[in-house]
């Protein structure tokens, strides 16, 4: 009898002489009871209770990935749905799910690193760029990437691209103080002519 219970379960207690089985197991297919909606600035995830959604701001990418990959790892969300939300390929989604299970959330942090130093723009070149910028502003010349490039080429024989010059002018914050430099230079000129 025990052997029969192990093999047949609760139906082992039924009378097998009758055609009708009083203990029938009804398998119900569970439907996913979740809903993911992507709004402009957040992702809303409803699981089970529609009145208590998980709301993740769209700019919190690490939090969003963690929640979605955890749900996918549990089989609650398909890789294709995550792929549509994050704009990754389904195979990459599967890879990231595996990584988060093996290495925790650290696996989702972007580990790419940019250039550590400016190889082309050394400190000496930056100094020349700042000096040329001040000279051009003080002489009321047009200060653009192209004009600075031409001036540096003439004055110190540096051949730098206008785009790189504009980039470094912005990084150094010189564009923001252009008016102040001009005003200070005009004040110095006025004071020197009065003396």
User: What tens digit of pLDDT does each residue of 60-75 get?
Assistant: 888 988 888 888 888 8
Q: Is the pTM of this model over 0.85?
A: no
Rounded to 5 degrees, what angle do the CA atoms 43, 48, 53 make? 30
pLDDT at 154 over 90: yes
What pLDDT score does 31 carry?
A: 56
Question: Residue 21 corresponds to which tokens in the numbers above?
Answer: 């089985």
pLDDT at 53 over 80: yes
The mean pLDDT of 146-159, rounded to a whole number, is 91
21 sits in which H/E element: none
State pLDDT tens for residues 12-50: 666 667 665 555 555 545 555 677 888 888 888 887 777
46 sits in which H/E element: strand 42-47
What pLDDT score does 25 carry?
A: 53
The mean pLDDT of 77-86, rounded to a whole number, is 86
Task: Categorize the per-residue pLDDT at 146 as very low, low, confident or very high, splitting at 50, 70 and 90.
Answer: very high
What pLDDT score does 24 carry?
A: 55
Q: Return the exposure string of 3-22: e unless at least 16 CB atoms fall within 10 Å of the residue's CB, then b.
A: eeeeeeeeeeeeeeeeeeee
Alpha-carbon gap, residue 33 to 35, rounded angstroms: 7
State pLDDT tens for residues 160-185: 889 989 989 988 888 888 888 888 88
State pLDDT tens for residues 100-128: 888 888 888 877 766 555 567 788 999 99
């Amino acid at each position: 009898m025990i052997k029969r219970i192990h093999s047949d379960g609760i139906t082992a207690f039924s009378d097998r002489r009758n055609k009708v089985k009083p203990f029938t197991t009804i398998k119900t297919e569970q439907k996913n009871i979740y809903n993911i909606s992507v709004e402009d600035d957040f992702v809303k995830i409803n699981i089970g209770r529609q009145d208590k959604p998980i709301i993740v701001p769209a700019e919190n990418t690490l939090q969003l990935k963690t929640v979605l990959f955890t749900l996918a790892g549990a089989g609650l969300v398909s890789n294709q749905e995550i792929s549509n939300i994050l704009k990754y390929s389904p195979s990459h989604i599967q890879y990231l799910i595996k990584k988060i299970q093996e290495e925790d959330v650290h696996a989702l942090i972007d580990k790419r690193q940019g250039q550590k130093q400016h190889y082309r723009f050394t400190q000496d070149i930056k100094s020349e760029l700042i000096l040329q910028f001040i000279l051009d502003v003080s002489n009321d010349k047009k200060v653009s990437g192209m004009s600075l490039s031409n001036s540096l080429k003439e004055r110190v024989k540096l051949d730098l691209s206008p785009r790189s010059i504009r980039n470094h002018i912005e990084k150094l914050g010189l564009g923001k103080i252009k008016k102040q430099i001009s005003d200070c230079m005009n004040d110095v000129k006025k004071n020197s002519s009065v003396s």
